[in-house]
Amino acid sequence: MSLEYKREPLEEDEIQLLRKSCRSFDKEFIINLLLDTNYLNELNL
């Protein structure tokens, strides 16, 4: 019997923390792009 792990979307405070951690425009742009496309939630970062 195998257990299945279901990923949960990022919480709003986690998203804000991730955005605030960006030190350059390029990084912030990529994070926002991934968040907007919901890709980060699939990666579960």
CA distance 22 to 16: 10
Q: What are the helix (H) ranges across 1-45?
A: 12-20, 25-36, 39-43
CA distance 38 to 34: 6
User: What's the pTM value of the predicted model, to 2 decimals?
Assistant: 0.59
Token output for 29: 């742009």
pLDDT, tens only, 1-45: 677 766 677 888 988 998 899 999 999 999 888 888 876 656 555
Q: What is the DSSP letter of 37?
A: T
Strands of 1-45 (E only): list them: none
- The domain ranges of the chain are 12-43
- Residue 13 pLDDT: 92
Nearest 5°: the CA angle 27, 24, 28 is: 35
